[in-house]
Amino acid sequence: MKKLLLFIAWLLFAPILYAQDQLPVIYLPENLTIHFISPEPIQYVDISTKDLTGDLPLKNVLRLKLRDTLKSFAGSVITIAGEKFIAQYHLLPGYPGVPTEIEITPAAMRPLDISGIGLSQNQLRSLALSLVAQSPDKRVDRVKAFGIKGQLNHVYTVGDYIFLDISYHNKTNLKYDIADFRFKVDDKKVTKAANNQSVEIKPEFVLFNQPAFSKNYRNVFVFKKMSFPGNKVLRAELSEKQLSGRIVTLSISYQDILDADMLPN
């Protein structure tokens, strides 16, 4: 009877043990911290034991350590999920001298197919970089104010995403310190401020985080698919970090959005 029970237990747990044997092994030494570095922002972590402590000091960095009060560590499995992948590692007791920075590579990843998750931040960045490598379009919207010329260079679409390529040229000798960059859907003609139904929308992704520019500024802003009526307009409002600073507002019509091109490969 005892042998039969042991055999049944082996049948139940053998697949789990086999799966752990196939996982990449990471060694955890005492009194040292291990950092997992992800190519995407980490969305989920499962630490299957109370012997470990962990946190996310950065969006794409997982910090892991054995508890100081721990007397012995028998091993465990950790699961890390990004926007588009899931990875698992078999953690074992280690010794000083093992790597303390673990890069999560494609070899350890399994793709995640989650409906509606869209493109990852890395994918959006790659597409946006390919866009700024192109020359500005001639069929664009422009604005001039306070010696600043603003221009919508391109409107492209990929799936449910809209890419707005916007640039500014400062014709003055006064550096422009950026306070904010906001996007609002406003009425085309505003007769009374109280009647203006303004709705602010935030980008899903912004390519560059540039705090100021002396002469030229160019950036790509990515939005989820949007729609608004013909009597509305999308306004890109660039404001300066000074009292009564320069504010430059570029108006983008819905027709510009509808005329978006497919982002070329």
Q: Are 124 and 222 spatial neighbours (Cβ–Cβ below 8 Å)? A: yes
In whole angstroms, give the CA distance from residue 30 to residue 26: 13
127, with CB counted inside 10 A (0-12, 13-18, 19+), is: buried
Mean pLDDT of 100-125: 79
- What are the domain boundaries of the chain? 25-116, 122-262
Residue 4: predicted pLDDT: 47
Residue 218 confidence class, pLDDT cut points 50, 70, 90 = very high
Q: Does domain 122-262 have CATH number 2.60.40?
A: yes
Residue with token string 């910090």: 63
- Mean pLDDT, rounded, of the chain: 81
Same fold, 25-116 and 122-262: yes
Mean pLDDT of 130-136: 83
Residue 207: Cβ within 10 Å count = 20
Mean pLDDT of 3-29: 58
Give the chain's end-to-end CA distance (angstroms, integer).
Answer: 65
Residue 220: predicted pLDDT: 94
CATH, domain range 25-116: 2.60.40
